[in-house]
Structure 1
Amino acid sequence: MDLAEGTILIVVGFLAGLLGGLIGTGGCSVMLPIIHFWMGYPATIAVGTTLFAVIFTALSGGYGHLLRRNVDVRAFLRLGGGGIAGVLLGSWLFTLLSSQAKLLGLILGLIFLWPAFRMIYEGVVQRTMPKREGSVIQGSGWRMAVFGCIVGIATGIAGVGGGYALVPGLIYLFGAPVYITMGTSLATMIPLAAVGGVIKLIQGFVDLPTGLLLAAGTIVGAQVGAAIIKRFKPATLKLIFGVYFLYVSIKFVTAFFGIQIW
Protein backbone atom coordinates (compact mmCIF):
# COMPACT_ATOMS: atom_id res chain seq x y z
CA MET A 1 0.00 0.00 0.00
CA ASP A 2 1.44 3.38 -1.03
CA LEU A 3 0.84 6.85 0.41
CA ALA A 4 -1.80 7.75 -2.18
CA GLU A 5 -3.89 4.65 -1.46
CA GLY A 6 -3.61 5.20 2.27
CA THR A 7 -4.76 8.80 1.89
CA ILE A 8 -7.73 7.72 -0.24
CA LEU A 9 -8.77 5.22 2.43
CA ILE A 10 -8.67 7.90 5.14
CA VAL A 11 -10.76 10.27 2.99
CA VAL A 12 -13.27 7.51 2.22
CA GLY A 13 -13.49 6.77 5.93
CA PHE A 14 -14.02 10.44 6.76
CA LEU A 15 -16.88 10.78 4.27
CA ALA A 16 -18.46 7.57 5.56
CA GLY A 17 -18.18 8.75 9.16
CA LEU A 18 -19.60 12.17 8.29
CA LEU A 19 -22.61 10.55 6.63
CA GLY A 20 -22.99 8.24 9.61
CA GLY A 21 -22.98 11.11 12.07
CA LEU A 22 -25.58 13.00 10.03
CA ILE A 23 -28.09 10.27 9.25
CA GLY A 24 -27.31 7.61 11.84
CA THR A 25 -25.58 4.98 9.71
CA GLY A 26 -22.18 3.42 10.21
CA GLY A 27 -20.89 4.23 6.74
CA CYS A 28 -20.40 0.64 5.52
CA SER A 29 -22.70 1.34 2.60
CA VAL A 30 -20.23 4.02 1.48
CA MET A 31 -16.96 2.20 2.20
CA LEU A 32 -17.84 -1.31 1.05
CA PRO A 33 -18.63 -0.65 -2.64
CA ILE A 34 -15.71 1.78 -3.00
CA ILE A 35 -13.04 -0.63 -1.76
CA HIS A 36 -14.67 -3.57 -3.57
CA PHE A 37 -15.46 -2.13 -7.00
CA TRP A 38 -12.89 0.65 -7.36
CA MET A 39 -10.02 -0.55 -5.19
CA GLY A 40 -10.24 -4.23 -6.08
CA TYR A 41 -10.80 -5.88 -2.69
CA PRO A 42 -12.61 -9.26 -2.83
CA ALA A 43 -16.23 -9.08 -1.62
CA THR A 44 -15.54 -11.18 1.48
CA ILE A 45 -12.59 -8.99 2.52
CA ALA A 46 -14.53 -5.80 1.74
CA VAL A 47 -17.40 -7.00 3.95
CA GLY A 48 -15.16 -7.93 6.88
CA THR A 49 -12.87 -4.90 6.64
CA THR A 50 -15.61 -2.28 6.47
CA LEU A 51 -17.54 -3.90 9.32
CA PHE A 52 -14.33 -3.82 11.37
CA ALA A 53 -13.92 -0.10 10.57
CA VAL A 54 -17.51 0.59 11.62
CA ILE A 55 -16.62 -0.45 15.18
CA PHE A 56 -14.71 2.83 15.43
CA THR A 57 -17.35 4.83 13.53
CA ALA A 58 -20.03 3.69 15.95
CA LEU A 59 -17.84 4.27 19.01
CA SER A 60 -16.96 7.78 17.88
CA GLY A 61 -20.41 8.79 16.61
CA GLY A 62 -22.29 7.05 19.41
CA TYR A 63 -20.15 8.76 22.04
CA GLY A 64 -20.71 12.13 20.36
CA HIS A 65 -24.48 11.63 20.39
CA LEU A 66 -24.38 10.34 23.99
CA LEU A 67 -22.68 13.56 25.11
CA ARG A 68 -25.46 15.49 23.38
CA ARG A 69 -28.11 13.24 25.01
CA ASN A 70 -29.32 11.88 21.69
CA VAL A 71 -29.36 8.24 22.91
CA ASP A 72 -32.26 6.34 24.52
CA VAL A 73 -30.32 3.96 26.78
CA ARG A 74 -33.28 1.61 27.35
CA ALA A 75 -33.84 1.16 23.61
CA PHE A 76 -30.10 0.80 23.04
CA LEU A 77 -29.84 -2.09 25.52
CA ARG A 78 -32.76 -4.00 23.99
CA LEU A 79 -31.78 -3.40 20.39
CA GLY A 80 -28.17 -4.24 21.15
CA GLY A 81 -29.03 -7.43 23.02
CA GLY A 82 -31.19 -8.76 20.20
CA GLY A 83 -28.68 -7.50 17.65
CA ILE A 84 -25.79 -9.47 19.14
CA ALA A 85 -27.78 -12.70 18.86
CA GLY A 86 -28.57 -11.83 15.25
CA VAL A 87 -24.95 -11.04 14.41
CA LEU A 88 -23.83 -14.43 15.73
CA LEU A 89 -26.36 -16.18 13.50
CA GLY A 90 -25.57 -13.95 10.52
CA SER A 91 -21.82 -14.51 10.92
CA TRP A 92 -22.37 -18.27 10.81
CA LEU A 93 -24.39 -17.88 7.62
CA PHE A 94 -21.62 -15.68 6.19
CA THR A 95 -19.10 -18.51 6.55
CA LEU A 96 -21.39 -20.69 4.45
CA LEU A 97 -21.58 -17.99 1.77
CA SER A 98 -17.90 -16.96 1.81
CA SER A 99 -16.99 -19.50 -0.87
CA GLN A 100 -19.90 -18.33 -3.03
CA ALA A 101 -18.61 -14.91 -4.06
CA LYS A 102 -21.22 -14.32 -6.77
CA LEU A 103 -24.10 -15.29 -4.47
CA LEU A 104 -22.71 -13.05 -1.72
CA GLY A 105 -22.58 -10.20 -4.24
CA LEU A 106 -26.21 -10.79 -5.18
CA ILE A 107 -27.25 -10.69 -1.52
CA LEU A 108 -25.30 -7.45 -1.03
CA GLY A 109 -27.01 -5.96 -4.08
CA LEU A 110 -30.47 -6.84 -2.81
CA ILE A 111 -29.68 -5.48 0.66
CA PHE A 112 -28.45 -2.20 -0.84
CA LEU A 113 -31.86 -1.70 -2.48
CA TRP A 114 -33.42 -0.87 0.90
CA PRO A 115 -31.23 2.14 1.80
CA ALA A 116 -31.34 3.27 -1.84
CA PHE A 117 -35.13 3.47 -2.06
CA ARG A 118 -35.46 4.74 1.50
CA MET A 119 -33.07 7.65 0.89
CA ILE A 120 -34.52 8.52 -2.51
CA TYR A 121 -38.03 8.54 -1.03
CA GLU A 122 -37.03 10.78 1.86
CA GLY A 123 -34.95 13.01 -0.40
CA VAL A 124 -37.59 13.55 -3.11
CA VAL A 125 -41.06 12.82 -1.74
CA GLN A 126 -40.79 13.49 1.94
CA ARG A 127 -37.89 15.97 2.05
CA THR A 128 -37.92 15.81 5.85
CA MET A 129 -38.47 13.03 8.34
CA PRO A 130 -41.56 13.15 10.56
CA LYS A 131 -41.00 15.77 13.24
CA ARG A 132 -41.46 14.16 16.61
CA GLU A 133 -40.35 15.58 19.91
CA GLY A 134 -39.06 13.85 23.02
CA SER A 135 -36.09 11.88 24.26
CA VAL A 136 -37.63 8.39 24.59
CA ILE A 137 -38.35 5.67 22.02
CA GLN A 138 -41.70 4.04 22.75
CA GLY A 139 -42.29 0.31 22.33
CA SER A 140 -42.06 -2.98 24.19
CA GLY A 141 -38.71 -4.51 24.97
CA TRP A 142 -39.37 -7.74 23.06
CA ARG A 143 -40.33 -5.87 19.88
CA MET A 144 -37.09 -3.92 20.02
CA ALA A 145 -35.09 -7.09 20.69
CA VAL A 146 -36.68 -8.92 17.74
CA PHE A 147 -36.09 -5.93 15.47
CA GLY A 148 -32.48 -5.72 16.65
CA CYS A 149 -32.01 -9.44 15.98
CA ILE A 150 -33.22 -9.09 12.39
CA VAL A 151 -30.86 -6.17 11.80
CA GLY A 152 -28.05 -8.16 13.42
CA ILE A 153 -28.54 -11.09 11.05
CA ALA A 154 -28.16 -8.74 8.06
CA THR A 155 -25.07 -7.22 9.70
CA GLY A 156 -23.45 -10.62 10.17
CA ILE A 157 -24.14 -11.66 6.57
CA ALA A 158 -23.52 -8.47 4.61
CA GLY A 159 -21.16 -6.56 6.88
CA VAL A 160 -23.28 -3.40 6.81
CA GLY A 161 -23.50 -1.78 10.22
CA GLY A 162 -27.28 -1.78 10.46
CA GLY A 163 -28.04 1.93 10.47
CA TYR A 164 -29.72 1.68 7.07
CA ALA A 165 -32.44 -0.43 8.76
CA LEU A 166 -32.32 0.91 12.32
CA VAL A 167 -33.02 4.53 11.38
CA PRO A 168 -36.22 4.05 9.34
CA GLY A 169 -37.34 1.20 11.60
CA LEU A 170 -37.13 3.26 14.78
CA ILE A 171 -38.82 6.25 13.16
CA TYR A 172 -41.64 4.52 11.31
CA LEU A 173 -42.22 1.39 13.44
CA PHE A 174 -41.62 2.89 16.89
CA GLY A 175 -42.43 6.57 16.28
CA ALA A 176 -39.04 7.68 17.57
CA PRO A 177 -37.86 11.32 17.60
CA VAL A 178 -35.39 11.92 14.77
CA TYR A 179 -32.33 13.06 16.71
CA ILE A 180 -32.79 10.32 19.33
CA THR A 181 -33.04 7.84 16.47
CA MET A 182 -29.73 8.95 14.98
CA GLY A 183 -27.87 8.67 18.27
CA THR A 184 -29.50 5.41 19.37
CA SER A 185 -28.84 3.87 15.95
CA LEU A 186 -25.11 4.62 16.13
CA ALA A 187 -24.92 3.45 19.76
CA THR A 188 -26.65 0.17 18.83
CA MET A 189 -24.13 -0.39 16.08
CA ILE A 190 -21.31 -0.50 18.64
CA PRO A 191 -22.06 -4.05 19.91
CA LEU A 192 -23.25 -5.23 16.47
CA ALA A 193 -20.12 -4.05 14.67
CA ALA A 194 -17.82 -5.12 17.53
CA VAL A 195 -19.10 -8.70 17.62
CA GLY A 196 -19.35 -9.02 13.84
CA GLY A 197 -16.04 -7.28 13.15
CA VAL A 198 -14.08 -9.34 15.69
CA ILE A 199 -15.57 -12.58 14.36
CA LYS A 200 -14.58 -11.66 10.81
CA LEU A 201 -11.11 -10.64 11.99
CA ILE A 202 -10.65 -14.05 13.62
CA GLN A 203 -11.96 -15.75 10.47
CA GLY A 204 -9.41 -13.91 8.32
CA PHE A 205 -11.84 -11.68 6.42
CA VAL A 206 -10.32 -8.36 7.59
CA ASP A 207 -7.45 -6.48 5.93
CA LEU A 208 -6.21 -4.89 9.15
CA PRO A 209 -4.12 -1.97 7.74
CA THR A 210 -7.00 -1.00 5.44
CA GLY A 211 -9.52 -1.28 8.26
CA LEU A 212 -7.45 0.92 10.57
CA LEU A 213 -7.00 3.63 7.92
CA LEU A 214 -10.72 3.65 7.17
CA ALA A 215 -11.38 3.79 10.92
CA ALA A 216 -9.05 6.79 11.34
CA GLY A 217 -11.16 8.73 8.86
CA THR A 218 -14.49 7.61 10.28
CA ILE A 219 -13.61 8.67 13.83
CA VAL A 220 -13.16 12.29 12.75
CA GLY A 221 -16.06 12.25 10.29
CA ALA A 222 -18.52 10.80 12.80
CA GLN A 223 -17.69 13.48 15.37
CA VAL A 224 -18.18 16.24 12.80
CA GLY A 225 -21.50 14.74 11.71
CA ALA A 226 -22.77 14.38 15.27
CA ALA A 227 -21.79 17.98 16.04
CA ILE A 228 -23.64 19.56 13.10
CA ILE A 229 -26.68 17.28 12.80
CA LYS A 230 -29.13 19.73 14.43
CA ARG A 231 -28.07 22.50 12.06
CA PHE A 232 -28.31 20.41 8.91
CA LYS A 233 -31.25 19.16 6.87
CA PRO A 234 -29.90 16.11 5.04
CA ALA A 235 -32.65 15.69 2.40
CA THR A 236 -30.41 16.58 -0.54
CA LEU A 237 -27.60 14.44 0.84
CA LYS A 238 -30.00 11.51 1.14
CA LEU A 239 -31.11 11.92 -2.46
CA ILE A 240 -27.52 11.92 -3.72
CA PHE A 241 -26.51 8.87 -1.72
CA GLY A 242 -29.81 7.13 -2.49
CA VAL A 243 -29.06 7.33 -6.21
CA TYR A 244 -25.50 6.16 -5.51
CA PHE A 245 -26.70 3.17 -3.47
CA LEU A 246 -29.16 2.26 -6.23
CA TYR A 247 -26.29 2.27 -8.71
CA VAL A 248 -24.22 0.09 -6.36
CA SER A 249 -27.13 -2.32 -5.96
CA ILE A 250 -27.57 -2.65 -9.72
CA LYS A 251 -23.81 -3.17 -10.12
CA PHE A 252 -23.80 -6.03 -7.59
CA VAL A 253 -26.89 -7.69 -9.09
CA THR A 254 -25.76 -7.44 -12.73
CA ALA A 255 -22.34 -8.87 -11.78
CA PHE A 256 -24.13 -11.99 -10.53
CA PHE A 257 -25.48 -12.50 -14.05
CA GLY A 258 -22.09 -11.87 -15.65
CA ILE A 259 -22.89 -8.32 -16.78
CA GLN A 260 -20.27 -5.75 -15.84
CA ILE A 261 -21.25 -2.07 -15.73
CA TRP A 262 -18.88 0.78 -14.98
Structure 2
Amino acid sequence: MVIFAAMLLLGAVIGFVGAGGAGVMITLLTVGFNVPIHTALGTSLAAMAFTTLSGSYSHFREGNVLRRLGLAMGLFGAVGAFCGALISSSLHTEVLTPLTAAALLLSALLIHLRIFHPQSPIFRQGFFTPKGGRFWLLAGLTGMVNGLISGACGIGAASFIQLSLLLVFNVPLYQTVGTTMLIILPIALMGGAGFLSAGHLEPLLFVQVLLGQVTGAFFGAKLTRLAPQILLKVAMVALPAAGGIILLMAR
Protein backbone atom coordinates (compact mmCIF):
# COMPACT_ATOMS: atom_id res chain seq x y z
CA MET A 1 0.00 0.00 0.00
CA VAL A 2 2.90 2.37 0.70
CA ILE A 3 4.37 1.80 -2.75
CA PHE A 4 0.92 2.17 -4.32
CA ALA A 5 0.28 5.47 -2.49
CA ALA A 6 3.69 6.84 -3.50
CA MET A 7 3.12 5.89 -7.13
CA LEU A 8 -0.37 7.38 -7.10
CA LEU A 9 1.04 10.75 -6.08
CA LEU A 10 3.95 10.52 -8.53
CA GLY A 11 1.57 9.51 -11.32
CA ALA A 12 -0.52 12.63 -10.74
CA VAL A 13 2.61 14.80 -10.99
CA ILE A 14 3.70 12.99 -14.15
CA GLY A 15 0.31 13.45 -15.80
CA PHE A 16 0.30 17.14 -14.88
CA VAL A 17 3.82 17.88 -16.17
CA GLY A 18 3.68 15.49 -19.14
CA ALA A 19 6.93 13.86 -18.05
CA GLY A 20 7.41 10.10 -18.24
CA GLY A 21 8.74 10.22 -14.70
CA ALA A 22 10.66 6.93 -14.94
CA GLY A 23 13.82 8.61 -13.64
CA VAL A 24 12.06 9.92 -10.54
CA MET A 25 10.37 6.55 -10.12
CA ILE A 26 13.78 4.84 -10.21
CA THR A 27 15.04 7.18 -7.50
CA LEU A 28 11.98 6.50 -5.34
CA LEU A 29 12.25 2.73 -5.76
CA THR A 30 16.01 2.45 -5.19
CA VAL A 31 16.42 5.05 -2.43
CA GLY A 32 13.01 4.77 -0.76
CA PHE A 33 12.32 1.03 -1.10
CA ASN A 34 15.82 -0.49 -1.62
CA VAL A 35 14.97 -2.07 -4.98
CA PRO A 36 18.07 -3.09 -7.04
CA ILE A 37 18.66 -0.52 -9.76
CA HIS A 38 18.39 -2.91 -12.72
CA THR A 39 15.03 -4.16 -11.41
CA ALA A 40 13.93 -0.58 -10.77
CA LEU A 41 14.89 0.39 -14.32
CA GLY A 42 12.98 -2.44 -15.96
CA THR A 43 9.92 -2.17 -13.74
CA SER A 44 9.59 1.60 -13.94
CA LEU A 45 10.13 1.83 -17.70
CA ALA A 46 7.60 -0.96 -18.36
CA ALA A 47 5.07 0.75 -16.09
CA MET A 48 5.61 3.99 -18.02
CA ALA A 49 4.01 2.41 -21.08
CA PHE A 50 0.69 2.05 -19.27
CA THR A 51 1.02 5.33 -17.39
CA THR A 52 1.55 7.28 -20.60
CA LEU A 53 -1.32 5.39 -22.27
CA SER A 54 -3.65 6.75 -19.61
CA GLY A 55 -2.11 10.21 -19.64
CA SER A 56 -1.98 10.38 -23.46
CA TYR A 57 -5.67 9.57 -23.75
CA SER A 58 -6.53 12.28 -21.25
CA HIS A 59 -4.28 14.81 -23.02
CA PHE A 60 -5.76 13.81 -26.40
CA ARG A 61 -9.24 14.63 -25.13
CA GLU A 62 -7.92 17.99 -23.92
CA GLY A 63 -6.48 18.75 -27.39
CA ASN A 64 -2.84 18.67 -26.26
CA VAL A 65 -1.50 15.98 -28.67
CA LEU A 66 0.04 16.34 -32.15
CA ARG A 67 -0.67 12.83 -33.41
CA ARG A 68 1.48 12.69 -36.57
CA LEU A 69 4.60 14.02 -34.88
CA GLY A 70 4.06 11.99 -31.73
CA LEU A 71 3.60 8.71 -33.56
CA ALA A 72 6.58 9.31 -35.88
CA MET A 73 9.02 10.09 -33.06
CA GLY A 74 7.57 7.36 -30.87
CA LEU A 75 7.97 4.56 -33.42
CA PHE A 76 11.57 5.46 -34.22
CA GLY A 77 12.22 5.92 -30.51
CA ALA A 78 10.96 2.41 -29.76
CA VAL A 79 13.80 0.91 -31.82
CA GLY A 80 16.39 2.99 -29.99
CA ALA A 81 14.85 2.13 -26.59
CA PHE A 82 15.07 -1.63 -27.14
CA CYS A 83 18.74 -1.37 -28.12
CA GLY A 84 19.45 0.95 -25.18
CA ALA A 85 17.82 -1.44 -22.70
CA LEU A 86 20.05 -4.29 -23.84
CA ILE A 87 23.11 -2.07 -23.36
CA SER A 88 21.92 -0.97 -19.90
CA SER A 89 21.42 -4.58 -18.77
CA SER A 90 25.11 -5.27 -19.31
CA LEU A 91 26.29 -2.32 -17.18
CA HIS A 92 27.31 -2.65 -13.52
CA THR A 93 25.39 -0.80 -10.80
CA GLU A 94 28.37 1.49 -10.07
CA VAL A 95 28.23 2.68 -13.68
CA LEU A 96 24.49 2.67 -14.23
CA THR A 97 23.47 4.69 -11.15
CA PRO A 98 25.58 7.82 -11.87
CA LEU A 99 24.77 7.49 -15.59
CA THR A 100 21.04 7.65 -14.84
CA ALA A 101 21.54 10.55 -12.40
CA ALA A 102 23.62 12.45 -14.98
CA ALA A 103 20.94 11.96 -17.64
CA LEU A 104 18.32 13.36 -15.28
CA LEU A 105 20.41 16.40 -14.33
CA LEU A 106 21.34 17.11 -17.95
CA SER A 107 17.71 16.91 -19.00
CA ALA A 108 16.76 19.38 -16.26
CA LEU A 109 19.49 21.79 -17.37
CA LEU A 110 18.50 21.64 -21.04
CA ILE A 111 14.82 22.16 -20.44
CA HIS A 112 15.62 25.03 -18.03
CA LEU A 113 17.68 26.77 -20.70
CA ARG A 114 15.00 26.28 -23.33
CA ILE A 115 12.00 27.57 -21.41
CA PHE A 116 13.62 30.23 -19.21
CA HIS A 117 16.31 31.44 -21.64
CA PRO A 118 14.75 31.05 -25.11
CA GLN A 119 17.06 33.71 -26.61
CA SER A 120 20.18 31.70 -25.81
CA PRO A 121 22.45 31.34 -28.92
CA ILE A 122 22.14 27.54 -28.87
CA PHE A 123 18.42 27.83 -29.62
CA ARG A 124 18.32 30.58 -32.22
CA GLN A 125 18.62 28.28 -35.23
CA GLY A 126 15.84 25.96 -34.12
CA PHE A 127 12.68 27.91 -34.82
CA PHE A 128 11.21 26.27 -37.91
CA THR A 129 8.60 23.65 -38.71
CA PRO A 130 10.11 20.95 -40.97
CA LYS A 131 7.95 19.41 -43.69
CA GLY A 132 8.12 16.53 -46.16
CA GLY A 133 11.31 14.50 -46.16
CA ARG A 134 12.96 16.83 -43.64
CA PHE A 135 10.14 16.13 -41.19
CA TRP A 136 10.67 12.35 -41.35
CA LEU A 137 14.45 12.69 -41.17
CA LEU A 138 14.30 14.87 -38.06
CA ALA A 139 11.50 12.82 -36.48
CA GLY A 140 13.54 9.66 -37.06
CA LEU A 141 16.80 11.04 -35.71
CA THR A 142 15.31 12.72 -32.66
CA GLY A 143 13.16 9.67 -31.95
CA MET A 144 16.08 7.23 -32.17
CA VAL A 145 18.37 9.34 -29.98
CA ASN A 146 15.71 9.92 -27.33
CA GLY A 147 14.80 6.24 -27.36
CA LEU A 148 18.42 5.19 -26.93
CA ILE A 149 18.82 7.53 -23.96
CA SER A 150 15.60 6.23 -22.45
CA GLY A 151 16.54 2.57 -22.79
CA ALA A 152 20.16 2.95 -21.72
CA CYS A 153 19.36 5.00 -18.62
CA GLY A 154 16.01 3.41 -17.83
CA ILE A 155 14.19 6.74 -17.95
CA GLY A 156 11.31 8.02 -20.05
CA ALA A 157 13.61 10.78 -21.39
CA ALA A 158 10.68 13.18 -21.18
CA SER A 159 12.84 16.29 -20.81
CA PHE A 160 14.95 15.37 -23.84
CA ILE A 161 11.78 14.73 -25.84
CA GLN A 162 10.24 17.99 -24.67
CA LEU A 163 13.40 19.82 -25.69
CA SER A 164 13.24 18.19 -29.14
CA LEU A 165 9.64 19.25 -29.60
CA LEU A 166 10.27 22.81 -28.42
CA LEU A 167 13.55 23.33 -30.27
CA VAL A 168 13.33 21.28 -33.47
CA PHE A 169 9.59 21.37 -34.15
CA ASN A 170 8.59 24.62 -32.41
CA VAL A 171 5.63 22.99 -30.63
CA PRO A 172 3.63 25.17 -28.17
CA LEU A 173 4.11 24.40 -24.47
CA TYR A 174 0.75 22.76 -23.77
CA GLN A 175 1.02 20.51 -26.83
CA THR A 176 4.62 19.71 -25.91
CA VAL A 177 3.34 18.26 -22.64
CA GLY A 178 0.67 16.09 -24.27
CA THR A 179 2.70 14.99 -27.31
CA THR A 180 5.59 13.95 -25.07
CA MET A 181 3.37 11.40 -23.35
CA LEU A 182 2.37 9.89 -26.72
CA ILE A 183 6.02 9.61 -27.78
CA ILE A 184 7.02 7.92 -24.52
CA LEU A 185 4.37 5.21 -24.95
CA PRO A 186 6.12 3.06 -27.64
CA ILE A 187 9.53 3.95 -26.19
CA ALA A 188 8.52 2.61 -22.79
CA LEU A 189 6.94 -0.50 -24.33
CA MET A 190 10.06 -1.53 -26.22
CA GLY A 191 12.43 -0.41 -23.47
CA GLY A 192 10.48 -2.51 -20.97
CA ALA A 193 10.59 -5.45 -23.39
CA GLY A 194 14.36 -5.11 -23.55
CA PHE A 195 14.69 -5.25 -19.76
CA LEU A 196 12.20 -8.14 -19.61
CA SER A 197 14.29 -10.14 -22.06
CA ALA A 198 17.29 -9.59 -19.76
CA GLY A 199 15.35 -10.74 -16.67
CA HIS A 200 15.10 -7.34 -14.95
CA LEU A 201 11.37 -7.12 -14.30
CA GLU A 202 9.60 -7.89 -10.99
CA PRO A 203 5.91 -8.81 -11.60
CA LEU A 204 4.51 -7.89 -8.16
CA LEU A 205 6.40 -4.61 -8.01
CA PHE A 206 5.31 -3.89 -11.57
CA VAL A 207 1.61 -4.28 -10.65
CA GLN A 208 1.94 -2.00 -7.60
CA VAL A 209 3.74 0.68 -9.59
CA LEU A 210 1.36 0.34 -12.53
CA LEU A 211 -1.89 0.73 -10.60
CA GLY A 212 -0.72 3.86 -8.80
CA GLN A 213 0.84 5.47 -11.86
CA VAL A 214 -2.05 4.94 -14.28
CA THR A 215 -4.66 6.26 -11.87
CA GLY A 216 -2.62 9.30 -10.88
CA ALA A 217 -1.57 10.21 -14.44
CA PHE A 218 -5.14 10.22 -15.75
CA PHE A 219 -6.31 12.79 -13.23
CA GLY A 220 -3.07 14.78 -13.26
CA ALA A 221 -3.38 15.36 -17.01
CA LYS A 222 -6.70 17.14 -16.49
CA LEU A 223 -4.96 19.84 -14.47
CA THR A 224 -2.40 20.83 -17.14
CA ARG A 225 -4.49 23.49 -18.91
CA LEU A 226 -5.75 24.85 -15.59
CA ALA A 227 -2.26 25.67 -14.35
CA PRO A 228 -0.29 28.88 -15.03
CA GLN A 229 2.52 28.40 -17.55
CA ILE A 230 5.14 29.41 -14.99
CA LEU A 231 4.08 26.53 -12.75
CA LEU A 232 4.37 24.08 -15.65
CA LYS A 233 7.81 25.43 -16.54
CA VAL A 234 9.12 25.12 -13.00
CA ALA A 235 7.70 21.61 -12.64
CA MET A 236 9.24 20.47 -15.94
CA VAL A 237 12.68 21.41 -14.60
CA ALA A 238 12.23 20.40 -10.97
CA LEU A 239 11.04 16.83 -11.56
CA PRO A 240 14.17 15.40 -13.27
CA ALA A 241 16.52 17.63 -11.23
CA ALA A 242 15.17 16.31 -7.93
CA GLY A 243 15.48 12.71 -9.10
CA GLY A 244 19.08 13.15 -10.26
CA ILE A 245 20.25 14.93 -7.11
CA ILE A 246 18.68 12.40 -4.75
CA LEU A 247 20.10 9.49 -6.77
CA LEU A 248 23.63 10.92 -6.59
CA MET A 249 23.43 11.76 -2.89
CA ALA A 250 22.20 8.31 -2.01
CA ARG A 251 25.15 6.49 -3.61
Structure-1 residue corresponding to 2:183: 188
- The answer on 1:138 being equivalent to 2:133 is no
Identify unmatched segments of 5+ residues in structure 1: 1-6, 127-136
Using the TM superposition, give the Cα deviation of residue 169 of structure 1 relative to its aligned residue in structure 2, in angstroms: 1.9
Structure-1 residue corresponding to 2:10: 16
> CA contact under 8 A between 1:22 and 1:229: conserved in structure 2?
yes
Using the TM superposition, give the Cα deviation of residue 231 of structure 1 relative to its aligned residue in structure 2, in angstroms: 0.5
Structure-2 residue corresponding to 1:28: 22
Using the TM superposition, give the Cα deviation of residue 155 of structure 1 relative to its aligned residue in structure 2, in angstroms: 1.1
> CA contact under 8 A between 1:9 and 1:214: conserved in structure 2?
yes
Q: TM-score, normalised by structure 1?
A: 0.81
> CA contact under 8 A between 1:116 and 1:245: conserved in structure 2?
yes
Q: Quick one: distance in 2 between partners of 1:156 and 1:254?
A: 23
RMSD of aligned residue pairs (Cα, Å): 2.5
Structure-1 residue corresponding to 2:43: 49
> CA contact under 8 A between 2:30 and 2:36: conserved in structure 1?
yes
Q: Quick one: distance in 1 between partners of 2:5 and 2:249?
A: 28
Q: Quick one: distance in 2 between partners of 1:242 and 1:111?
A: 13
Q: Quick one: distance in 1 between partners of 2:202 and 2:245?
A: 26
Structure-2 residue corresponding to 1:222: 217
**Distance change >3 Å, CA 21–CA 246, structure 1 → 2:** closer
Q: Quick one: distance in 1 between partners of 2:224 and 2:236?
A: 17
**Among 53, 59, 64, which residue is 1:59 paired with?**
53
- The answer on 1:199 being equivalent to 2:194 is yes
Q: Quick one: distance in 1 between partners of 2:239 and 2:75?
A: 32
Q: Give the % identical residues.
A: 25
> CA contact under 8 A between 2:105 and 2:240: conserved in structure 1?
yes
Q: Quick one: distance in 2 between partners of 1:175 and 1:207?
A: 39
Q: Quick one: distance in 2 between partners of 1:241 and 1:169?
A: 14
- The answer on 1:101 being equivalent to 2:101 is no
Using the TM superposition, give the Cα deviation of residue 244 of structure 1 relative to its aligned residue in structure 2, in angstroms: 6.5
Paired residues in the alignment total 238
Q: TM-score, normalised by structure 2?
A: 0.84
Instruction: Tell me the alpha carbon deviations over residues 125-163 of structure 1, each in whole angstroms, 9 at most, x when there is no partner.
Output: 56xxxxxxxxxx933121011001001001111111121
Q: Quick one: distance in 1 between partners of 2:247 and 2:63?
A: 38
Structure-2 residue corresponding to 1:129: none
**Alignment-mate amino acid for residue 179 of structure 2:** T
Q: Quick one: distance in 1 between partners of 2:107 and 2:32?
A: 21
> CA contact under 8 A between 1:12 and 1:31: conserved in structure 2?
no
